[in-house]
Amino acid sequence: MNKPKVLVTRKWPAAIEEKLSKLYDVKLNKQDTPLSALELKAALQNYDAILATVTDRFTAEVLSVADRRTKIIANFGVGYDNIDIQAAKQYNLIVTNTPEVLTECTADLTMMLLLMSARRAAEGERLIRRRQWHGWSPTHQLGQKVSGKTLGLIGFGRIAQAVARRAHHGFGMQILFSDPFVPAQDIVEELQAQRCDTIDELLTEAHFVSLHCPGGKATRHLINERRLKLMRPTAHLINTARGDVVDSRALIKALQQQWIAGAGLDVYEGEPNIDQDLLALENVTLLPHLGSATEETRLAMGNRVLDNVTAFFAGQNPVDRVA
């Protein structure tokens, strides 16, 4: 019996690629270059399964290709807004993701960005590298204290709760959250978290705001000029969710005109293309989408994809099915 044909769209950890190669007729992307829309269409016509990543834009137009062979798109990541889920359902395509395994590392990175932004760490490092630091001064590069401050979380799922635990138990921060879904009461009690009726209320009260909502049409530009103006002038915005949740031009304006003190970003609108005006700012910390970028997490993500695909080809329902 012929092995199923499987495409891995980007370079994955070697241990995962080795496992896949033993189980399936696998095409690997040794060059690690993102696939174009035309290449994705061709893949849908030639492979039984596509193991995709956030860089693969499976739009309705791409998914509508004729003579479609693919039956499952297994996404390497917890987010799946790179795939038009409604179109996937229309064409009877199964879609899976990799939840849970990247929670802790993404939460670690969120706290790192929060601390770096609050204490102007990236700005200080750039100063050292440019050899422009002339020694200690009582008023040089003052930032904000983190301990005891209020952290507002927009979205209160697994990653946000992991951030809240670090912030509350580690730094004595007060936790506010806004989420359309009601979290478990024991979590709320553990973190002494207070739910805000609206995002606007949260933005007004918090010293630090961290975004943990999914991307997509419903949340595009959720943080816009009006909402940025609601934040404290000493506040910091942290985004490790999806780039399009924030109106980047509005954020640039807010940072330029000091409506807020700073921002820490791991994701961007239109990444990897980043607005030059954002790059010119000193009061922003920028990371290249490193939320899950640890060896342990990426291996766990790959194994989760492997489990989903294996279940599918065994005639079972993948545990992480989202469509």
Domain ranges (residues) in the chain: 5-101+295-313, 103-286
Topology match between the domains 5-101+295-313 and 103-286:
yes
Residue 148, CB-side half-sphere exposure with 13 Å CA sphere? 2
Q: By C-alpha distance, which of 287, 286, 266, 270 is closest to 278?
A: 286
Selected catalytic residue, list 39, 201, 225, 271: 271
Taking all residues of the chain, what is their mean pLDDT, rounded to a whole number? 97
Q: Is 271 a catalytic residue?
A: yes
Mean pLDDT along residues 86-92: 97
* Cα distance between residue 8 and residue 296, in whole Å: 19
Look at residue 13 and tell me whether its pLDDT is greater than 80. yes
Selected catalytic residue, list 69, 221, 289, 321: 289
Look at residue 248 and tell me whether its pLDDT is greater than 80. yes
Give the pLDDT of residue 302.
98
Confidence bin at 104 (pLDDT 50/70/90): very high
Give the pLDDT of residue 167.
98
Q: By C-alpha distance, which of 14, 20, 78, 16 is closest to 49?
A: 20
Using DSSP's 3-state secondary structure scheme, residue 25 falls into: strand
Residue 124, CA distances (Å) to 127, 257, 277, 285 in order: 5, 20, 20, 11
Confidence (pTM): 0.95
Amino acid at 79: G
**Residue 217 near residue 149 (C-beta atoms within 8 A):** no
Question: Could you read off the pLDDT of 131-179 as tens digits, one per residue?
Answer: 999 999 999 999 999 999 999 999 999 999 999 999 999 999 999 999 9
Q: By C-alpha distance, which of 179, 245, 173, 247 is closest to 215?
A: 245
CATH number of 103-286: 3.40.50.720
Q: Is 190 a catalytic residue?
A: no
Task: Estimate to the nearest angstrom the gap between the alpha carbon of 252 and the chain centroid.
Answer: 20
Other beta carbons within 10 Å of 5? 17
Selected catalytic residue, list 10, 242, 298, 304: 242
Confidence bin at 51 (pLDDT 50/70/90): very high
Alpha-carbon dihedral angle through residues 81, 90, 318, 49, given to the nearest 10 degrees: -80
Give the pLDDT of residue 1.
75
Mean pLDDT along residues 266-283: 96
The DSSP code for 162 is H
Alpha helix ranges (H) inside the chain: 14-23, 37-46, 60-63, 85-90, 103-118, 121-129, 158-165, 171, 185-191, 199-205, 225-228, 248-256, 276-279, 295-313
Decide yes or no: CATH 3.90.1150.10 for domain 5-101+295-313. no
What is the distance between the terminal CA atoms of the chain, rounded to a whole angstrom?
28
Q: Is 225 a catalytic residue?
A: no
Look at residue 108 and tell me whether its pLDDT is greater than 90. yes
**Residue 212 near residue 156 (C-beta atoms within 8 A):** yes
Q: By C-alpha distance, which of 42, 9, 13 is closest to 27?
A: 9
Q: What angle do CA 247, 250, 252 make, to 5 degrees?
A: 110
* pLDDT > 90 fraction of the chain, expressed in percent and rounded: 99
